[in-house]
Amino acid sequence: YPHSDLLKSLPKQFFASLVSKVGKQLEQGHDVINLGQGNPDQPTPVHIVKKLQSAAEKPVNHRYSPFQGFPYLKKAAADFYKREYDVDVDPETEVAILFGGKAGLVEIPQCLLNPGDTVLVPDPGYPDYWSGVALAKAEMATMPLKEENGFLPLYSQLTDEQLNAAKLMFLNYPNNPTGAVASEKFFQETVELGKKHGICIIHDFAYGGIGFDGKKPVSFLQAKGAKEAGIEIYTLSKTYNMAGWRIGFAVGNASVISALNLLQDHLYVSLFGAVQEAAAAALTESQECVKELNALYESRRNAFISGLQEIGWDVKAPEGSFFAWLKVPEGCSSEEFADHLLEKAHIAVAPGIGFGKYGEGYVRVGLLTSEERLKEAVERIRKLNLF
């Protein structure tokens, strides 16, 4: 059957080609160190898995759960925001349960935009923002994230015309792919800008649980008036190693939350009740697992970055997320460099161009394997004599 024009308009999945290149190397029997994808390698903490097991036995969880999720989970999300960020959230009107952060991010443009409306997206940025924009038949305007500005957009470089045309803006800190973090001051500026120009701010806080050097990542909702200016999307995928469970939530502006709930009523019934119980346990019970995870990623980051610096690669350490964003040597594109690493050292990394035009000149490395394997990757790179 012919596919719809809408389906054909969706951006090409850039990482499909990386997966197939890695597959070929594995078929040839190479020992590939795969740092290309963003799939957490650690298991979900045991107390959360146990909660799922006991909750799965309850008949109440075998039936359809309420549209828009169980109230106890919305309360757990609100309590989590109070405890972690000292932000007051009304669980009834300011929280929407999501099938993972990605679903919410892709749904938002369909909730708020008409065809032809403009969305400001960061470049480089998480490619799923583009999918949501395409599904809503909206247009993208990019905000370059440059190293000299700490990978934050420079609002002063956006024209009044661009700002007045934009209906929505996506932001994401700690940032995928650059590993940059944002300050409360930056979010405060963002709130003022959004309110002044009528732009709804969507802050993707997927890596909110992962910050280094004792610095806890700041929530967008900590900025004054943030709930009047937009929402934040939180996911349990990274903070609690629950990427396979598909659960997250949106918090903030009540009008946006009600739009999300309405669209989701048409798309799904709701999530498996046992997953909701386990998610509530993750958010409200001991947070020791989050501390341990931060320590693990920080120690991997330190080993990998210092190893690269020792062999002469001029790289900076990420401040949050589990990605390192590395400048490629002069004279080759990010894709050529990634291919070279894969073919000559059997190390897979994601070429920066996959995250947008301004991602060119960098590759993204996921710190999602053991410290020992990361050191092995450094050793293989050293042998290439690139620096």
Using DSSP, state whether 261 is helix, strand or coil. Answer: helix
CA–CA separation, 300 vs 305, rounded Å?
A: 8
- Encoded tokens for 265: 């009523």
The answer to whether residue 34 forms part of the interface with ligand PLP (CB under 6 A) is no
> Which residues have a Cβ under 8 Å from the Cβ of 316 and sit 6 or more positions away?
305, 325
> Which residues have a Cβ under 8 Å from the Cβ of 289 and sit 6 or more positions away?
45, 47, 240
Among 73, 163, 201, 206, binds ligand PLP (CB under 6 A): 206
**Applying CB under 6 A, which part among 51-59, 97-105, 162-170, 268-276 lies near ligand PLP?**
97-105
Among 40, 45, 69, 100, binds ligand PLP (CB under 6 A): 100
Among 118, 237, 270, 276, binds ligand PLP (CB under 6 A): 237
**Applying CB under 6 A, which part among 99-107, 256-264, 278-286, 301-309 lies near ligand PLP?**
99-107
| Identity of the residue, 243 or 303, whose beta carbon is nearer to ligand PLP in the bound complex | 243
CB of 98 to ligand PLP, least distance (A): 8
Among 70, 80, 81, 126, binds ligand PLP (CB under 6 A): 126
The answer to whether residue 176 forms part of the interface with ligand PLP (CB under 6 A) is yes
Helices marked H in the chain:
5-8, 15-27, 46-56, 71-85, 100-112, 128-135, 160-165, 184-197, 226-229, 236-239, 254-267, 273-284, 288-310, 334-345, 371-383
CB of 106 to ligand PLP, least distance (A): 9
| Identity of the residue, 10 or 60, whose beta carbon is nearer to ligand PLP in the bound complex | 10
Identify the CA nearest to 345 among candidates 379, 313, 372.
379
CA–CA separation, 209 vs 222, rounded Å?
A: 15
**Applying CB under 6 A, which part among 100-108, 189-197, 346-354, 356-364 lies near ligand PLP?**
100-108
CB of 136 to ligand PLP, least distance (A): 18
CA–CA separation, 146 vs 229, rounded Å?
A: 25
Give the number of other CB atoms < 10 A from CB of residue 17. 13
Q: Name the residue type at position 225.
A: G
The answer to whether residue 113 forms part of the interface with ligand PLP (CB under 6 A) is no
The answer to whether residue 129 forms part of the interface with ligand PLP (CB under 6 A) is no
CB of 126 to ligand PLP, least distance (A): 4
For residues 104-132, one letter each, b for 16 or more C-beta atoms within 10 angstroms of the residue's C-beta and e for the rest, the string is bbbbbbbbbbeeebbbbbbbbbbbbbbbb
| C-alpha to C-alpha distances, 27 to 32, 281, 315, 337, nearest whole angstrom | 10, 41, 32, 22
**Applying CB under 6 A, which part among 85-93, 98-106, 279-287, 352-360 lies near ligand PLP?**
98-106
Among 34, 44, 172, 276, binds ligand PLP (CB under 6 A): 172
The answer to whether residue 219 forms part of the interface with ligand PLP (CB under 6 A) is no
- Encoded tokens for 52: 């799922």
> Which residues have a Cβ under 8 Å from the Cβ of 362 and sit 6 or more positions away?
124, 177, 178, 325, 326, 327, 328, 334, 352
- Encoded tokens for 377: 């990757």
The answer to whether residue 248 forms part of the interface with ligand PLP (CB under 6 A) is yes
The answer to whether residue 243 forms part of the interface with ligand PLP (CB under 6 A) is yes
CB of 157 to ligand PLP, least distance (A): 23
Identify the CA nearest to 144 among candidates 295, 373, 359.
359
> Which residues have a Cβ under 8 Å from the Cβ of 294 and sit 6 or more positions away?
209, 210, 211, 212
| Identity of the residue, 113 or 202, whose beta carbon is nearer to ligand PLP in the bound complex | 202
CB of 312 to ligand PLP, least distance (A): 30
The answer to whether residue 239 forms part of the interface with ligand PLP (CB under 6 A) is no
CB of 172 to ligand PLP, least distance (A): 5
Among 84, 107, 204, 319, binds ligand PLP (CB under 6 A): 204
Binding site for ligand PLP (CB under 6 A): 38, 100-102, 126, 172, 176, 204, 206, 235, 237, 243, 248
